[in-house]
Amino acid sequence: MNKEVAIRPAVKSDYPSWKILWDKYNAFYGRQHETALPAEIVAMTWSRFFDAYEPMHAIVAELDGRCVGIAHFLYHRSTIQIAPVCYLQDLFTLEEMRGQGVGRALINYIYDHAKNAGSSRVYWQTHQSNVDAMKLYDRVAEKSGFIVYRQAL
């Protein structure tokens, strides 16, 4: 990438750009009803990023004034350490920006944020079919060896 991408916290005026990327991200993982998640989920998710009582954060990657990537992360308690743990929940870049350092820049921003928050670990999960993203993840983190189980209720 010739120009440097800027990573910054999302602001409320980012909503239109964020929403486009959010919808693309959810479509990538098959979590959409026609074109997007239900409006009430989207509205609640967005509002949580700006609620001081919520441990959720949103960041955007910007290049030439254009939003080219997003990431969401949150902090939670752990039974094996005192400091909060940082979970990178969502990471998405525009397809044409992949392989150009945007995802790495988003992850590095989260690493710095977590370290400054006193967290000693950042973790995330991805689908086994997301092989392109795993090429990056294998360079910036280590696989934990854990397998995720879940049950819808």
- Which regions in the chain score pLDDT beneath 50? none
Return the pLDDT at 70: 98
CB 113 within 8 A of CB 73: yes
Return the pLDDT at 66: 94
Return the pLDDT at 1: 52
Q: Where are the alpha helices (DSSP H) in the chain?
A: 15-28, 39-48, 102-116, 131-140
CATH for the stretch 6-140: 3.40.630.30
The domain spans of the chain are 6-140
Return the pLDDT at 26: 86
Return the pLDDT at 52: 94
Coil, helix or strand at residue 60: strand
In sequence order, the 6+-apart residues with CB closer than 8 A to the CB of 68 are 5, 61, 62, 93, 94, 97, 102
